Every structure is written in structure tokens, then in C-alpha cells.
Amino acid sequence: MTAAVLMLDLAGTELSADEAALLADDAVGGLILFSRNFESPTQLRRLIAAVRALAPDILIAVDHEGGRVQRFRQGFTLLPAMGVLAQRYACAPEAALAEAVELGWLMAAELLDMDIDISFAPVLDLDYGRSRVIGDRAFGGDGATVSALAGAFVRGMAEAGMAATGKHFPGHGWAEADSHLEIPTDERDLATIEQQDMQPFAQLIDAGLAGVMPAHVIYSTVDPSPAGFSHYWLQQVLRTQLGFRGVIFSDDLSMEGAGFAGGYAARAARALEAGCDMLLVCNHPEGAREVLDYLRAHPRVPSPAIAALRGDRRAINQQRQVRAQALAAELRAL
């Protein structure tokens, strides 16, 4: 049997016959949702129910960080960008930490209620004021602040029943280019990256981080390959040095930053060889089919840690509903 290591996307708000056939394939183990898949909470529940009917154990994910990266809005609490917490932390650290816990819980509770397993959160990058794609998605500009606030956010997610995925290892904040559009380069030395950008990852891994997504960034003084295709970064540093035992998700293999590795089958091969456990291919159906064909021809043993990421898919209880309503009211009052 082919290991279920491919995470795909959908074109719209309903499941097509072709997409249904793909999701039923043994090589497909995940689905990531985008704003184009959402019209309303009712429609989203219907779509997810259709997916579950075909693939009950599929891992359903979304990028739902808050701020400009929140895929679902109507009927969901509008979460602030996490950079807002960094501003609060500078003046009132205890209050900011408490808010981070509540925001992590609220984000996770609303998604779990929709039968979505994980949000790819938190962002553990540092905001140096350089990256066009990170910015206020980060919890701050220094390792200590990001570690504290992101750690609190993860605790809130855990209280709701959702596992956390830290991104983008070992840190995307210094590289200026957007890896969706080009291959960014970070020219700093290893010691600087370890002492600054890697600290939130190290701290949260020690606290039990369940997933990590590496960056499509070349750290040119360390390794010639982007981190997501680098045996050094994923095996020597992440697995061995930091002791990470969870799931390594590739970032989207259709991004320009992944073009370093060649065609889609080559991207899949390189990412798996480097140490990725699950491959994301989004916004490129032809590329996804190429990866699917590759996986069928090169079966793998799936990571047992993937199953541990599946959230508690039971409907949220009355206590969760009351807490969510109270938190939503507090946010509207800010």
C-alpha cells in the first residue's frame, strides 16, 4: 500500500468527481483549505462532511493564523495579527500572554468545531522589518518574545484539543524575498541563526511541538539547498540537534522557492529524501498528479506521528461554546 503522505487542495466550494477520486487515493493523506473553499459556515460543514465520507481519517488543515492570513472570516471571529501581541507584551507582558492563550484556544476551538484538524500555526519567524511575507504575522522581533507569546498561543491550542505546527524552520524573517514568488536567500552565519531565529523552535520543541514546516529559503553560508530540501537542516539540526520527533510538513511544493529542486516529481523526491513526512502541493493540479504518480511508484512507510495530529473531531461542548462566545465579545470590544 502507498503511504498517505500527499496533502492536496480543492478548486472551489464543492467537491468535484475528479477531486473525490484523488482524495480516495492511498497516497493522499491530507487536505488543505483556502479562502476559495469557503462561502459560509454551513457550506464549509457540508464540504468537510463530503470529504470525510470519502476519507474519514484524512488530515484536514488550513492556514488560519489571524490578521491577513485567516482563510475563513464570515461566521468566524476575526483574529488580530500576532504582531499586535508583541506590542502589548512590551507594555503589559502578563496580559499579553493571557491574551495569546485565549486567542490560540479560540482559533483552535472554532476550527475543530468545523471538523478541521489543524491550523498551520504558530509562525515562529522573527520580524526584523525585512521580510515582505512575514511582517506582523510574527509574534515579535526577538527570540525571547516570540518564544513566550507563541508558547502561550500553543498552550491555548492544546487546551482546545489541537496540535500546533511551527513555521518556517529555521526562520524566514531575515530573508527579504517572498518564497511564493522567488527563492529567498539568507546570508547570515549558522551561529547567528542558532542564537536568534532557531530559539523559538528549540523552546517549543522542548515543550512538545507536534509539527514543523521548513522554509523555502537558502541559508547560503550553511547549506546550498533550501531548508525544506536539506538533509542537514531537517535531519542533523531539526531531528538530531533539537530532538524533534513530530511531523515535518513540506511548505507548498508549487511555490517558486521549491523550483530549486526541479519538476514536481523531483521536488517530492528531494523533500522526502531530506526528511519531510508530508508533502503539500497546492494551486497546481498537474503538479499534484505528478507527485501522486511518483508516490505510487515509490511507496513509503508513513510517519506514525501524522495520526497524532488529527484533532478531537467531536462537536465542541457547551463549555467551549460559552467560552468562545465570551472571547469573541471581548475581541469585538477591543
Cβ atoms of 200 and 166 closer than 8 Å: yes
User: What is the per-residue pLDDT for 306?
Assistant: 87
Number of residues that make up the chain: 334
Cβ atoms of 120 and 63 closer than 8 Å: yes
Q: Which of 9, 113, 251, 277 is catalytic?
A: 251
Could you report the average pLDDT of every consecutive run of 10 residues in the chain (334 residues)?
A: 83 96 93 98 97 94 96 96 96 97 95 95 97 94 98 95 96 83 89 98 95 95 96 98 97 75 88 96 92 91 82 55 71 68
Binding positions for substrate:
63, 71, 137, 167-168
Neighbours of 141 (CB within 10 A): 15
Alpha-carbon distance of 319 to 330, in angstroms, equals 17
Residue closest to 108 by CA, chosen among 79, 83, 147, 87? 79
User: What is the per-residue pLDDT for 297?
Assistant: 92
Residue 172 known to be catalytic: no
Cβ atoms of 216 and 258 closer than 8 Å: yes
User: What is the per-residue pLDDT for 315?
Assistant: 44
Q: Which fold has domain 6-333?
A: TIM Barrel (3.20.20)
Geometric angle at alpha carbon 235, from 204 and 116, rounded to 5° = 50
Q: Which of 142, 180, 284, 293 is catalytic?
A: 180
CA distances from 292 to 4, 18, 53, 187, 254 (A): 10, 14, 21, 34, 14
Residue 251 known to be catalytic: yes
Binding positions:
63, 71, 137, 167-168
User: What is the per-residue pLDDT for 254?
Assistant: 85
Q: Where are the beta strands (DSSP E) in 34-151?
A: 59-62, 64-66, 69-70, 118-119
Q: How many CA atoms does the CB half-sphere of 105 hold within 13 Å?
A: 22
